[in-house]
Structure 1
Amino acid sequence: MDRRRGAAILFVAPFLLCFVAVTIVPLAYAAALSLFTEKASGLGFGPAETVFAGVDNYVRALSDPAFRGGFLIIAAYCLVYLPLMVGGALVLALLLDSAAAKMKRLLQLALFLPHAVPGLIAAIIWVYLYTPGLSPIVALLEWDFLASDHVLLSVVNIATWEWIGYNVIIFYAALQAVPREILEAATVDGARGLRLAFAIKVPMIRAAVVMAGLFTVIGAIQLFTEPKIINRAASTVSSSWTPNMYALTAAFERHDYGLAAAASMLIALLGAVLSFAVTRATARRSSR
């Protein structure tokens, strides 16, 4: 038993060390930094002093309309992005898993290939395609992708292009694990086409769908790369358009590191709460 325990610790130790180094330590440092602020001494001519601020930085972040507005944008983004991403990936995976699908390997590669492109490069490519005077698509469709009414959909399009192939692979792998005898029995009972897909296959991979939905929401909360690149090309995306962009602006443009750390901790807390809520709800539903 001791040898098994030692072997288990040996295998788990590298992960724990990396997890502590890249997750726990930065979170602890950000939490400590969020409790302090810098104030100029005297008439403002002396060096700034770091003073304990308590929860003042959190209050400042939550009372700032720009920070709260970023979460409203994330909510609108999720309303469009989540069903498009999860629903679209699920439909594509079901099509790949169907008996009528041809060249499955080639289709999997084609769908996954955009995910292999770094997010920064993908955003730059799409900004060129969105820019009037540079893009043939804008002239052809006569549509301003960077207008204030359209820019959210443009960001959703970039993220969907990047990530839908990743989710297709997850769902397709889950579909391949569905016992064939269950599908054969359903077919014998008369299940065909859409009924077989949505009444038999989808419930069998519910865990994978929930996991993909959870990761999609967490990724949406951390939305940064796509709007940051668009911010360089259009004024419709401000420097505090999302909560992550707000934290970056507070840290590196306003040099208010306490406020930036507090905003980051609030973003992390929201992600943790959503993860816990979805996991708890899924566990309760599975136990019924």
Structure 2
Amino acid sequence: MTRAPRRRPYGVKGAPYAFLIPATLLFLLFFALPIGYAVLLSFRRTEVKGLGLGKGARQEVWAGLANYGDALSDSELLHGALRILGYGMITVPVMLGLALLFALLLDTERVRLRGFSRLAIFLPYAIPGVVAALMWGFLYLPDVSPFLYLLDAAGLPEPGLLDGGPLYLSLANIAVWGGTGFNMIVIYTSLRAIPAEIFEAARLDGCSQLRIALRIKIPLVAPSLVLTFFFSVIATLQVFSEPTTLKPLTNSLSTTWSPLMKVYRDAFVENDVYAAAAQAVIIALATLALSFGFLKAANSRTKQGES
């Protein structure tokens, strides 16, 4: 005589959903709700009647897509986006190139003090961005920096806070110094996950360390390179703390140097939260489009390589 299968109590079936409730509530309250409110504000604007004096002279009205049209035709926002493009073209390749180089060097058998070197490269990432920007900002000042004198004596280009190339190099240097360690750890972890038998077979075939790195290691860590590139692009589009912190030290940085600085100025200085909300939505959509476009291109290229 077979027994009927015992049914689970309803409370056991609903336990996973009960554990999800706190995370869902936090997501809705602190992520989804602010985004929805920002989108709502982007479709509204303040209408001023007469001289704008007295009660009811300023009213919030529905603006439709007018704020988005103003944002897309705003030359300051466009110039900020172009500056970020130039900044990213310096920062992302240099940072990922150094991260890959350090990860490959730490993965070799002959390296010494591997633990200390890994920690020393990663440690700048643990320093807050504002603190790092202040530290480098004072090192860029000719009156207090010992490095500018040494670079000038050696005939090397000097980073500084002057408008143009030196300013881009100075800002990119802060990002590279702080972000290389994180990307290196991601790539190094992927390298350590590769089976050692692959390297042993390559050495038996007479491959050098350089050939192993170029033909085996780099192709196998390509997904990690894609991931670090994805994170670096998002971080580049969100540049705010470094130029904002360095602004009191130079006149070359305007209040709208980056798109997020423009959003901050319009929202908290000009007191136009509606225009700032529209600009923030446009930046978020542009970041989303670039991210998904890059991921789709990377996935399609990976599938072509596998086929």
Q: TM-score range by the shorter chain?
A: over 0.9
Out of 296, 301, 305, the position equivalent to 1:280 is 296
Shift of 1:24: 1.6
Provide, for residues 145-202 of structure 1, a one-character-per-residue CA deviation record: whole Å limited to 9, x for no partner. 0111211110000011111011111111110001111122222222212110121011
Instruction: State whether residues 263 and 280 of structure 2, in contact with CA within 8 Å, keep that contact through their aligned partners in structure 1.
Output: yes
Structure 1 segment 178-197 matched on structure 2, within 5 A: 178-197=194-213
Instruction: State whether residues 159 and 169 of structure 2, in contact with CA within 8 Å, keep that contact through their aligned partners in structure 1.
Output: no
Q: Secondary structure at the match of 2:45?
A: strand
The verdict on how the C-alpha distance between 1:7 and 1:95 changes in structure 2, with shifts beyond 3 A counting, is farther
Partner of 2:58: 48
Shift of 1:120: 0.8
Q: Secondary structure at the match of 2:110?
A: coil
Out of 210, 227, 249, the position equivalent to 1:233 is 249
Shift of 1:85: 0.9
Q: Does 1:28 align with 2:43?
A: no
Instruction: State whether residues 159 and 170 of structure 2, in contact with CA within 8 Å, keep that contact through their aligned partners in structure 1.
Output: no
Provide, for residues 32-85 of structure 1, a one-character-per-residue CA deviation record: whole Å limited to 9, x for no partner. 011111122122323421111111111111111110011101111111111101
CA distance in 2, matches of 1:10, 1:89: 42
Which segments of 5 or more consecutive residues in structure 2 lack a partner in the other structure? 1-7, 153-157
Structure 1 segment 55-204 matched on structure 2, within 5 A: 55-142=65-152, 143=158, 145-149=160-164, 150-204=166-220
Partner of 2:286: 270
Greater gyration radius? 2
One-letter amino acid of the structure 2 residue matched with residue 168 of structure 1:
M
Shift of 1:140: 3.3
Q: TM-score, normalised by structure 1?
A: 0.94
Shift of 1:4: 8.0
Instruction: State whether residues 129 and 241 of structure 2, in contact with CA within 8 Å, keep that contact through their aligned partners in structure 1.
Output: yes
Shift of 1:13: 4.3
CA distance in 1, matches of 2:178, 2:132: 7
The verdict on how the C-alpha distance between 1:267 and 1:5 changes in structure 2, with shifts beyond 3 A counting, is farther
Instruction: State whether residues 251 and 257 of structure 1, in contact with CA within 8 Å, keep that contact through their aligned partners in structure 2.
Output: yes
Instruction: State whether residues 81 and 258 of structure 2, in contact with CA within 8 Å, keep that contact through their aligned partners in structure 1.
Output: yes
Q: TM-score, normalised by structure 2?
A: 0.89
Provide, for residues 227-281 of structure 1, a one-character-per-residue CA deviation record: whole Å limited to 9, x for no partner. 1111111110110000000000101111111110011111111111112112222
Provide, for residues 84-121 of structure 1, a one-character-per-residue CA deviation record: whole Å limited to 9, x for no partner. 01111001100000112111100011011111111111
Q: Does 1:18 align with 2:34?
A: no
C-alpha RMSD over aligned residues = 1.8
Indicate the percent of aligned positions where both proteins have the same amino acid. Answer: 38
Which segments of 5 or more consecutive residues in structure 1 lack a partner in the other structure? none
Q: How many residues align?
A: 288
One-letter amino acid of the structure 2 residue matched with residue 24 of structure 1:
A
Out of 208, 227, 235, the position equivalent to 2:224 is 208
Q: Secondary structure at the match of 2:89?
A: helix
